[in-house]
Amino acid sequence: MTASRSYRSDFACMVLVVATSSPPLTPYRTLDMTSHFQELDELGYTILENALTAEQVEDAVTTLREVYERDKGHVSDHEPMTQRVFNLTARAEVFRQMIQLPEVVACMSYLLGDDYTLCDMGARSAMPGLGAQGLHRDGADFIPNPPYDVHKILPLHTQSMIALSDFTLENGATRYVPGSHLMDIHPDDIPPEDEKRLICPAGTILIYDARLYHAGGANTSDKIRYAVQGFCCRKNIKPFCDHTRSIPPDIVEAASPLLRRLWGFEFQSAWEEAESDFRIIEATGAKAVFDF
């Protein structure tokens, strides 16, 4: 931890006031997202067209290439023939912009509640020659939901697949099975004809309930298919990345209230330094979780 982060023992009053230069965000509640919400409920996914500008796409791809070059290609041990990087909101402003897009926030809030957090934002870039993935769900198994909830199942995670290349059949456009977020079914039992493909230009975002069966296709082209995933979860679900310890303090101080919430500063697990001496990572709006 860096010296620029301060700590106080009173978890009921732990706020370090900092200035923020972030521009105000478009309130997502002013958007007409009715059709997108209906698709999320019924199909398990929705598509946001023209979500990014050409400049944002170019900036994001340039940043990824620089990161991959620093990491000497960073070919994933988990999945050979892919390049991966995590904690992207710490690396460039363009990724912080993406995860705060009003339409993205609206969809995430609809499925996960207004207090959802960022599980992690990472990139999975498919290299030429990569084979097809098997159909899978992200982050959780199928969980039935009591009748009192408006959703057929309780969404614990929601994914955003952000296309930074044109997605084509040749480069392995994402496969997905509409309605599979409601199915108690093994992926091997899903007929191939039930799959759809995300054929789209760069700058498109696919938002889907994490229980939607999906997979990357085979990249038979001669170019890398660039994509970023912004994976979000309910606030009581443990995220993949501890952003409170992973984001540089100067970036935290300049961030919007929304971004600090997404990083988990408002829902921290305090640690006990000494008896009754509870501490957290501080930032504007930082809170400890003592609600029992």
Tell me phi and psi for residue 222, to 5 degrees: -105, 20
pLDDT at 1 (0 to 100): 33
- Evaluate the CA torsion angle 133, 137, 141, 142 in order and state its sign: negative
DSSP E strands in the chain: the ranges are 45-48, 82-85, 117-126, 157-163, 175-176, 196-197, 205-209, 214-215, 227-233, 271-274, 277-279
| Measured distance CA(212)–CA(176) in Å, rounded | 7
Q: Are 163 and 205 in contact (CB under 8 A)?
A: yes
Q: HSE-up of 99 (CA within 13 Å, CB side)?
A: 31
Q: Which domains does the chain have, with CATH numbers?
A: 34-248 (2.60.120.620)
CA angle 128, 163, 132 (to 5 degrees): 40
pLDDT at 285 (0 to 100): 75
| Measured distance CA(145)–CA(148) in Å, rounded | 8
pLDDT at 284 (0 to 100): 76
Q: How far apart are the first and last CA of the chain?
A: 29
Radius of gyration from C-alpha coordinates of the chain: 20
Q: Are 180 and 171 in contact (CB under 8 A)?
A: no
| Measured distance CA(195)–CA(212) in Å, rounded | 11
The reported pTM is 0.83
The residues, ordered by sequence, that sit 6+ positions from 14 with a Cβ below 8 Å of its Cβ are 7, 8, 279, 280, 282, 286, 287, 288
Residue-by-residue pLDDT tens, the chain, 292 positions: 333 333 222 323 222 222 333 334 445 566 789 999 999 999 999 999 999 999 999 999 999 999 888 876 555 567 778 888 999 999 999 999 999 999 999 999 999 999 999 999 999 999 999 999 999 999 756 555 545 454 555 789 999 999 999 999 999 999 999 999 888 888 999 999 999 999 999 999 999 999 999 999 999 999 999 999 999 999 989 899 999 999 999 999 999 999 999 999 888 877 777 766 677 777 777 777 665 4
Q: How far is CA 199 from CA 3, 29, 126, 184, 265, in A?
A: 48, 29, 15, 27, 37
pLDDT at 80 (0 to 100): 78
